[in-house]
């Protein structure tokens, strides 16, 4: 009998708030977390806005002596994992520790630490480089530190697949549980890449919105006036669990994860393929593996970056995947409110998608004032919508043409 995988805990840290409830409430109200950058002097930058996490206190989650050992992306991952574990009420003991793993992705990792320590090297020489530099910055230490914190001794892994990283982490965690290599996984992603080099680098790619005078209106997926994405930060971590394991301990079940698709465009280092082929195949694979008909999918949390190419090509991919049913789908881009968490986006948005399925409510796409004629589907503009959701997809696509799609279904015993 095939092992079923369910979501029993959700932990979110975003520009809308620190915690799952406050983030979800902000999404349903259509709030924007985008504002002018406060982390460093933005003089001379073309893009001067971002979706920063406000008021984060690492002491609420981490002992003071350990904070200096962790880049902010690791701190966010620990916070989101704590929220998810508290929500799930999953207890890790010596008896079950080897059956519970951690899989947390990031697109960039410790960018803040890398920039800081590079400056220390240039200004003071090698002796000024922190001994904690390497373990603070490398991507797998988010998963490593989370496993240490909770005593999870099962599979411990990290993905670095650009903006698909945490969606891949969740998809691969789903496969790990299905094949019996773990009974539960603490899985998702984290990113803290609002830094001078990041803002400068993405700016030089002309990928960022420069609507600096209207920060809250700058992220506008599927709108004809969109001019680029907004860098966001934060984390999204889910507790994925084998169904019987969850049932035996009386866990709350938000949704069942039933499908995972991944693909490559094999086309361009930053641009999606012009026919939307890779995205379409990832979605189709998730639906096929989920064993449902395309018309059973009611909602898609789109990748929806607010860049000219992504939005129209994702729209095309959805049409090619779902045919006539595409026009009946509710689709929204929550990046319109949270910004784009890069490698953390898939974790945050998978959590949002599971909550949408659980509550039968679709978060909106804000700032969709003038729909692009090439983006002509139902993107749930401005206001959240109560509706039944049987199945929902969460899409994540990344530089290098790497794609992931996760399929969730309303749980039925």
CA gap 310, 222 in Å, rounded:
9
* Model confidence at 1: pLDDT above 70: no
370 catalytic per annotation: no
303 catalytic per annotation: yes
Residue 103: which residues within 8 A CB-CB, separation 6 or more? Answer: 143, 155, 156, 157, 158, 159, 169, 170, 172, 173, 176, 185, 186, 187
Same domain, 323 and 207: no
Q: Residue holding tokens 């992705």? A: 105
Q: Residue 183 to residues 146, 174, 205, 240, 351: CA-CA distances in angstroms?
A: 17, 10, 42, 8, 19
Query: Residue 253 falls within a domain, yes or no?
Result: no
Catalytic-labelled residue, pool 303, 321, 375, 391: 303
- Tens of pLDDT, residue by residue over 385-404, are 999 999 999 999 999 999 99
Strand partners, 394: 301, 406
CA gap 327, 358 in Å, rounded:
23
340 catalytic per annotation: yes
Of 248, 276, 298, the last residue of a domain is 248
Same domain, 126 and 234: yes
Same domain, 113 and 183: yes
Same domain, 264 and 243: no
Q: What integer pLDDT is reported at residue 413 of this predicted model? A: 80
Same domain, 72 and 180: yes
| Containing structural domain, residue 45 | 5-248
Closest listed residue to residue 390, CA positions, set 345, 325, 334:
325
Same domain, 281 and 209: no
- Tens of pLDDT, residue by residue over 166-214, are 999 999 999 999 999 999 999 999 999 999 999 999 999 999 999 999 9
Counting residues of the chain whose pLDDT is more than 70, the rounded percentage is: 100
- Tens of pLDDT, residue by residue over 341-355, are 999 999 999 999 999
Q: At 139, which helix (H) or strand (E)?
A: none
Confidence of residue 380 (pLDDT cuts 50, 70, 90): very high
Same domain, 177 and 272: no
Same domain, 52 and 192: yes
Give, to the nearest 10 degrees, the angle between helix 165-178 and helix 345-359. Answer: 60
CA gap 12, 174 in Å, rounded:
19
Query: Residue 254 falls within a domain, yes or no?
Result: no
- The mean of the pLDDT values for the chain is 97
Q: Residue holding tokens 């079923």? A: 4
CA gap 222, 376 in Å, rounded:
8
Same domain, 190 and 100: yes
Rounded to an integer, the average pLDDT of 294-299 is 98
Query: Residue 376 falls within a domain, yes or no?
Result: yes
Rounded to an integer, the average pLDDT of 308-336 is 97
Query: Residue 116 falls within a domain, yes or no?
Result: yes
Would you give the distance in Å from CA 40 to the centre of its chain? 24
Of 229, 248, 267, the last residue of a domain is 248
Catalytic-labelled residue, pool 160, 163, 321, 391: 163
Structure-block tokens of residue 189: 């992603």
Same domain, 90 and 10: yes
How many C-beta atoms surround the C-beta of residue 340 within 10 A? 30
Q: What integer pLDDT is reported at residue 221 of this predicted model? A: 98
Pairing mode of beta strands 361-362, 385-386:
antiparallel
Residue 413: which residues within 8 A CB-CB, separation 6 or more? Answer: none
Same domain, 235 and 266: no
Q: At 287, which helix (H) or strand (E)?
A: helix 277-290
- Tens of pLDDT, residue by residue over 87-116, are 999 999 999 999 999 999 999 999 999 999
On whether the CB atoms of residues 226 and 208 are closer than 8 A, the answer is: no
Cα three-residue angle 343-344-348, rounded to 5 degrees: 145
Structural domains counted in the chain: 2
Q: What integer pLDDT is reported at residue 154 of this predicted model? A: 98
Structure-block tokens of residue 115: 């920039």
Query: Residue 95 falls within a domain, yes or no?
Result: yes
Q: What integer pLDDT is reported at residue 44 of this predicted model? A: 96
Rounded to an integer, the average pLDDT of 132-157 is 98
Q: Residue 246 to residues 38, 125, 249: CA-CA distances in angstroms?
A: 42, 53, 6
Of 248, 272, 301, the last residue of a domain is 248
Closest listed residue to residue 188, CA positions, set 22, 356, 341, 32:
341
Q: What integer pLDDT is reported at residue 273 of this predicted model? A: 86
Rounded to an integer, the average pLDDT of 276-287 is 97
pTM of the predicted protein model: 0.97
Confidence of residue 3 (pLDDT cuts 50, 70, 90): very high
Q: At 16, which helix (H) or strand (E)?
A: none
Side-chain-side CA neighbours of residue 88 (13 Å)? 30
Which CATH number does the domain housing residue 294 bear? 3.40.47.10
Same domain, 93 and 220: yes
Rounded to an integer, the average pLDDT of 378-388 is 98
Closest listed residue to residue 187, CA positions, set 258, 257, 242, 240:
240
Cα three-residue angle 345-59-91, rounded to 5 degrees: 70
Catalytic-labelled residue, pool 160, 245, 340, 391: 340
Pairing mode of beta strands 361-362, 330-332:
unpaired
């Amino acid at each position: 009998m095939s092992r079923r995988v369910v979501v029993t805990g959700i932990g979110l840290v975003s520009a809308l708030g620190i915690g799952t409830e406050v983030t979800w409430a902000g999404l349903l109200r259509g709030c924007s977390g985008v504002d002018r950058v406060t982390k460093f002097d933005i003089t001379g930058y073309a893009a001067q806005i971002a979706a920063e996490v406000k008021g984060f206190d690492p002491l609420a989650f981490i002992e003071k002596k350990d904070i200096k050992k962790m880049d902010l992306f690791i701190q966010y991952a620990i916070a989101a994992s704590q929220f998810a574990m508290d929500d799930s009420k999953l207890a890790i003991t010596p008896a079950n520790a080897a059956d519970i793993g951690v899989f947390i992705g990031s697109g960039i990792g410790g960018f803040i630490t890398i920039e800081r320590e590079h400056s220390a090297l240039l200004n003071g020489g090698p002796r000024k480089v922190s001994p904690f530099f390497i373990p603070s910055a490398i991507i797998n230490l988010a998963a490593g530190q989370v496993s240490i914190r909770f005593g999870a001794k099962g599979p411990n892994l990290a993905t670095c697949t650009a903006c698909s990283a945490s969606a891949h982490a969740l998809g691969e965690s789903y496969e790990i549980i299905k094949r019996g290599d773990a009974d539960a996984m603490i899985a998702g992603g984290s990113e803290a890449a609002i830094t001078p080099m990041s803002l400068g680098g993405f700016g030089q790619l002309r990928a960022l919105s420069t609507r600096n005078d209207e920060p809250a209106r700058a992220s506008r997926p599927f709108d004809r006036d969109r001019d680029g994405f907004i860098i966001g930060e934060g984390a999204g971590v889910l507790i994925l669990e084998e169904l019987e394991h969850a049932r035996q301990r009386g866990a709350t079940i938000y949704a069942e994860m039933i499908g995972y698709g991944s693909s490559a465009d094999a086309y361009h280092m930053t641009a999606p393929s012009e026919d939307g082929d890779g995205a379409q195949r990832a979605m189709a694979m998730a639906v096929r593996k989920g064993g449902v008909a395309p018309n059973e999918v009611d909602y898609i949390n789109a990748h929806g970056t607010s860049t000219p190419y992504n939005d129209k090509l994702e729209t095309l991919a959805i049409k090619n995947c779902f045919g006539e049913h595409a026009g009946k789908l509710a689709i929204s881009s929550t990046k319109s409110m949270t910004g784009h968490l890069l490698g953390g986006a898939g974790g945050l948005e998978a959590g949002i998608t599971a909550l949408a399925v659980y509550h039968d409510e679709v978060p909106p796409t804000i700032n969709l004032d003038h729909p692009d004629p090439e983006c002509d589907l139902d993107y749930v503009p401005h206001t959240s919508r109560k509706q039944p959701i049987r199945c929902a997809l969460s899409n994540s696509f990344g530089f290098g043409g790497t794609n992931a799609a996760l399929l969730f279904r309303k749980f039925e015993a």
